[in-house]
Amino acid sequence: MKTWPQKLLRFFLLMLVGIILSASGNIVNLNMGNLDATLKGSQVVFVAFCADWCPFSRRLKPVWEQAAAKWTQDRPGTSVAWAIVDSVQQADVADKYFVNKYPTMKIFINGELISKEYRSTRSVEALIEFVDEQLKTAIIDFPNTDFLAASIDREKRNVVGYIADRNSVEYANFQKIGALLREDCFFYSATDDALKSVNGNTLVFKDPGTDDEQKYTGSFTDYEFMKQWLTDKCIPLVREVTFENVEELTEEGLPFLIFFRDPKDKDSDKLFTELVTRELYDQKAAVNALLADGHKFAHPLRHLGKTAKDLPVLAIDSFQHMFLFPNMAELDQVGKLRQFVLDLHSGKLHKEFHENLDSRIAELQKLALEQQEQDNNPNSGEARAPAAMPPADTTPKPSIFKELKPSNKRYSLLSKTEL
């Protein structure tokens, strides 16, 4: 039971939030003082991280304010907050979310940051449409098993829930997690009482492209445990890199461990996924394990001196250099993949790169001197040895995926003094 001082404190806090909102029109100016209350105070919080010295931020700000005003006018009472972070004055907030380009637009749902940034058109209509999508339920209802079988796409990651009471904490947790992971998984929920009574409170994850099913065995009231379990299933250790998501993946800042293969070769996909799961279970925060279509990503392959005929090919792109896995025939040997990744992070691959480079330069210089001596003595009576072949070029190539990072024309990365 709240005491009068607690009630008064809550009243004044609400008054303060109201003052903040009215002082900035329909925009909340975020700082560390009001951050937590703002994020927890609305179902959806859409945040623009801007900097006054950045011309792109200056162009976005009036559009952002118009979108917030239109939203408030057309959709009063919805649980949505539009916010701006002045990333110069409130650098601690920008640093908290690793923002280093401007403007950056992030979305928070039920107080939690979702991984996908807003990267679409910067117009009032597009911004509002995006927020509308976040408010829609991520759960697809199904009345019977025939409907589910006809609706589900086996090539996608799917979660099927059977939860008896839709007014329960268990179902509320399922909904919240579905909203967070809607970009990574499809979520289905049984509506038929008979289905729910037979299955009880059950969650099943269905692996894409297989008939494998994994059942959640934890507590449905333990939100954090359920979220972690579903996150591990919906965002796997191995992801597919495409031209659509490569920019977003590069921004995660982790070196790419790229398995170039023919996408029709499902056995290779399975082998690589099993190897990553077995050997790199603790390296999720150290490397991005990715599958790449070796036909679509032909340019990086050529850069490595390989073609589609050489598939599958494994390489690391450190955003400085690309390192080829030395012998694909040994890939499935225990410890080989793990050692390749550990050698990157220990600096061994980079050290060997310089050692090989120095050795190659020395060999080329020696070859040039020998050739020069032979050219200076063309008529000597000694039998001439055939000219030595140039040493094979085994040095790593410069990074290709570094070039696929966001363009400077899209984001301003300059400091205020450089403008």
Domain ranges of the chain: 4-135, 139-234, 238-349
What's residue 294's pLDDT? 95
Output Rg (C-alpha) for the chain, integer angstroms: 28
- The single-letter DSSP state of residue 330 is G
> Which residues in 136-168 are b (16+ Cβ under 10 Å) and which e?
eebbbebeeeebbeeebeeeebbbbbbbeeeee
Terminal-residue alpha carbon distance, the chain: 57
d(CA 198, CA 312): 45
What's residue 415's pLDDT? 38
CB 181 within 8 A of CB 230: yes
pTM over 0.75: no
Q: Which residue reads 């329960």 in tokens? A: 168
139-234, which class in CATH?
alpha beta
What's residue 392's pLDDT? 46
CATH placement of domain 238-349:
3.40.30.10
Question: What is the full per-residue pLDDT of the chain (419 aa) written as tens digits?
Answer: 445 455 545 444 444 444 343 334 589 999 999 999 999 999 999 999 999 999 999 999 999 999 999 999 998 888 999 999 999 999 999 989 888 788 999 999 999 998 778 888 999 999 999 999 998 888 999 999 899 999 998 888 999 999 988 899 999 999 999 999 998 899 999 988 877 777 788 999 998 867 788 999 999 999 999 999 999 889 888 999 998 888 888 887 789 999 999 999 989 998 999 999 999 988 877 899 999 999 999 999 998 889 999 999 999 998 888 999 999 999 999 999 999 999 988 888 877 766 665 555 555 566 666 666 666 665 554 444 444 444 444 456 788 887 766 554 444 444 333 33
DSSP letters spanning 67-134: HHHHHHHHSTT-SEEEEEEETTTTHHHHHHTT--SBSEEEEEETTEE-SPPP-S--SHHHHHHHHHHH
Q: Which residue reads 């008896």 in tokens? A: 164
Same fold, 4-135 and 238-349: yes
CATH among 3.40.50.2300, 3.30.930.10, 3.65.10.10, 3.40.30.10 for 4-135 = 3.40.30.10
What's residue 402's pLDDT? 77
Residue 400 token pair:
């290709």
